[in-house]
Chains A and B, each alone.
Chain A
């Protein structure tokens, strides 16, 4: 407790403050003391005045004793004595005793007593004096009376005169001679009654003598009353005491003054010391403010009380933002709790903490600090924390960069040497050692041959020196010798590192081993221009070399045939049996093609299932056709992959150089067109490019261009092919068919423009248009009283690529108001095989929602019955190519019969397309086919015409 108080005093009361307080107290004491002295002087003046008055009053009273034998007005004695008493009383009531001591007071009391005695004496004196005065007056009267009464008695008169003279002398101050006077008085004694005046005279004289003697006694008494002296003594005593007091006061005031002066000196001393310290502190503060070190000071509660500019710079927080906050504002939360716990434990022990911190700037970026945090403890009390920190972010980052550089230096496959200005190798990396077969000790510290040679200008290749001199940098290919004497190709890079003054500091020499690079290059080249699967040249190869081949052919006058080969049905195989099977098939085909084409031909895989063969031959067209036939037959051979025996065919387009075209792009295009044509011609055949093909291609391009705007220009419309129940001939549905009437091209057959629409993606928009129109038409018919069971629309495989197709369809259906149960979606066999998964999902969904699904053109495609089982469909539509030959063609009859039987066995209904004759209809009815459509029943009709048709048929049937 005591210690705590002491500590408190030491910490809170500094000498400066104490001196200041002391100084103020001194001033206050001096002032109050001076005030007291002043009051004493004032009091003393009053006392002195009063004592002076007493002396005066006493002198007045003393006059009584001087007026012997005369009239004295006693009132004067009364008034002066009362005044005297009043003054004495006031002095008794005053602070005289306190200020001048008991002695003075006793003296005052003595004065009072003396005065009382003197007044008593005065009154005792006044009585005989009055009597004596009266005697004298009367004696004078008596003398005159006696003169008149007794004229003859001269002798006695003379005695009287003598007595009077004697009395006069006494009155003048001479001593009274009582004996002689008494004797003289005897001379006038008489017993005669007539002479009574002599007796009066004698009596008066006797009384006079008595009174005079009494008065003389009293005057003598008065001489012993030393009132005057007593008052003067008191006054002197007061004066002396006053002077003494004054001296004491003066010395005390001097003392005070001296103390105050010394105090002031001390204060000034302290002030200067403080001032000096202030300057030092200012300097310190300046140093702290401008220190590169971040300095943070907090109070004991760790609230920031000071930060310097370095803090602002490194943290991004301004002073105002930081003051009053906790230092944790820059905490990055990268260090774990343990880190801070350890820090706080150290600080709580009053010890300095040192370490590296990762903190967060205001903008969230991290920075590194090397910090030392010191708890500042004054007199056992923690008052502040001082953190001195150095932003080492740059250092850390540089270190990291260097580490990275070192890693790179070591990890790089290039050999690196660092040579100093004295041509000594100061660093070498592992890659160098590996490339050249040296040990590290053999290299480090040695002179660099190449640098030495360069500096002495003895190096053979002068280009290096000139490049270094000009640009400070050289790179180029050289051959360099390994330890075991082998020459290897290297890419040499020499970089000069110069210091600030421009002198060469280091050479950095990088050797890139080109051995591998060269190998890699060849490999890469091969990979770039060859198909990795078949190892045949690829399309890039063709495009790169074709021009050169043409060039050569031109020079030699050779004829070049460009075969464009596309495998039919490859996609189906790839999709159904997997791409491994597909790949193996491609490899087999490739080998067969190479074999077939012979060494002089160039066989390339152009992409996917497309191959190209370029034959340089002087053969004419016919032999080229033969070659094509040979290729077809080679492909047609069944291919064994795993357990499968795959059958495939090819479609071949052929373009000739220079007959058809002389530039490479055109040749490829023409060959492609011819291949396309072959496909159209039923696949498994070859076609030469003709001018007509070019025209077709042009038409196709036109169609493409015009179709772009057909929809928005309203050139597209629908026709409706009625569908009917074969048995009853009842109209039960209609297939919507798209028609395009182009102002420029006229009516374009769907056969042409649908495929274009599919290729360009136009088909998606057109698909929506069809659905919308068909729905509208159906509802229109319904309004008109023609209620069909369904309206069928065709879907293209391209439409299924739209992810939102289902949603869009549902939207259109909902908007139109048609019931899902009145819609039938037709989809080709081929479409079902492409994109099978999505297609199936969408079809399933449409069916679930109430729509019907029909497979269109059944039999023309792959006729793979396997998928039919897995599909959830409602109808199959027998392609019109099968119906066409009915009932005469045996093939057609069998296929048709089989399809119908198969459908029924799977629970599908069957629709026959393209019924044109009664015989066909009858046959189909006979096979149990449910529905039909075709010219025999009705041509495709406009919407309104269909209503008419329906109404007419209704009438007829009635």
Chain B
């Protein structure tokens, strides 16, 4: 009887031997980005000129001072229209393998086009945006200084994407811990990290962005009762049903509410929900607390680019 167990252990150890510690890496101090494009992108990001009625800017739903999202379950668009998904943070979004919850955009540029043209978000068209910006002498000048072809659809989203690329949040306490400062986080948070790894969270939330680099099914062990069918709504493939992009956990303490539909308000509840639906196991309250403490250590100061 024990033979089987020992064999299983042997197999398991062989599979997991590849360094667990390297599953999470710190945010780099810098990313390569064109400074002038960043400057222009930031201006566009903060300017409601891109919305059809001039009321909504990118920053309306992605408040750079408050975790890079809007703190609402669903975001508002122009004319007070209510969206269908919870707005994700714009911070570190460059590290994501896909953009949007269902991963329909392959990169930041593709993503940037979405909200501008979305009728319930900024309600504009890209051609319209080009026209409006072309009427602005300052933008004309700005664009011409950077792009030989001046204001174009591609150049607008390129500038915005370049700015978003620069929105990274290094130096979270946990990153400092990873870099060797063992006192950067509390004992409990450290234990929380170990639990995070041993309970299997890390299997989906890993990498530099601690998430954002993999799909997974929302509600594995129990139906999570989501009206949004995730990737399936794009591919119409059965195996894609309820597949969502695993979100980044960085700065998650500041991005409540949680889940694609903002169904959970606190981190504790989110951890508990994850344990229940996704891992199919029960966790003791103190374990959940410790994991929450760990998650809180992922909050980094607001970066220079966002100020």
Contact = CB atoms under 8 A, between A and B. Distances in A.
Given A70-B16, A134-B200, A171-B11, A161 B4 contact: yes
Given A138-B280, A162-B4, A74 B214 contact: yes
A203 B220 CA distance: 10
Contacts of B18: 67, 70-71
B200 A137 contact: yes
A167 B207 contact: no
A168 B3 CA distance: 12
Contact of B7 (A70, A73, A165, A200): A165
B213 interface: yes
A889 B50 CA distance: 177
A124 interface: yes
A233 B239 CA distance: 32
A74 B281 contact: no
Contact of B12 (A126, A131, A137, A162): A137
A130 B214 contact: yes
A77 B207 CA distance: 11
B223 to A, nearest CB: 13
Nearest to B222: A203
B20 interface: yes
Interface in A141-187: 143, 157-158, 161-162, 164-165, 167-168, 171-172
B203 A207 contact: no
B250 interface: no
Interface string A61-90: 000000101110111011000000000000
B23 A73 contact: yes
Contacts of B198: 137
Ranked 6 nearest A-B pairs via Cβ: A165-B4, A134-B200, A74-B213, A75-B207, A70-B15, A130-B203
Contacts of A138: 200, 279-281
A167 B216 contact: no
A627 interface: no
Interface string A179-221: 0000000000000000000001001100100000010000000
B157 interface: no
Given A74-B213, A75-B208, A203-B221, A134 B4 contact: no
B280 A69 contact: no
A238 interface: no
Which residue among A70, A130, A136, A200 has the maximum number of chain B CB atoms within 10 Å of its CB?
A130
A131 B216 contact: yes
Nearest to B280: A203
A73 B207 contact: yes
Interface residues of B, number: 40
B89 to A, nearest CB: 18
B97 A78 contact: yes
Contacts of A171: 11, 15
Contacts of B7: 165, 168
A127 B215 contact: yes
A127 B216 CA distance: 5
Given A75-B208, A207-B221, A126 B8 contact: no
A164 B3 CA distance: 11
B281 A200 contact: yes
Given A67-B18, A127-B243, A167-B8, 4 more contacts: A71-B20, A74-B214, A75-B95, A75-B206
Contact of A200 (B2, B23, B220, B280): B280
B22 to A, nearest CB: 7
B9 A78 contact: no
A209 to B, nearest CB: 14
B12 A140 contact: yes
A164 B8 contact: yes
A134 B18 CA distance: 15
A136 B12 CA distance: 8
A516 B22 CA distance: 162
Contact of A214 (B25, B97, B207, B239): B239
Contacts of B5: 143, 161, 164
A133 interface: yes
Given A70-B16, A165-B8, A123 B214 contact: yes
Interface string B172-210: 000000000000000000000000001010111011100
B217 interface: yes
Which residue among B3, B4, B9, B213 has the maximum number of chain A CB atoms within 10 Å of its CB?
B4
A165 B22 CA distance: 30
22 contacts: A67-B18, A70-B18, A71-B20, A73-B206, A75-B25, A78-B207, A78-B213, A127-B214, A130-B204, A131-B220, A134-B200, A134-B203, A137-B16, A137-B198, A140-B8, A161-B1, A161-B2, A164-B4, A165-B8, A171-B15, A200-B280, A207-B280
B97 A123 contact: yes
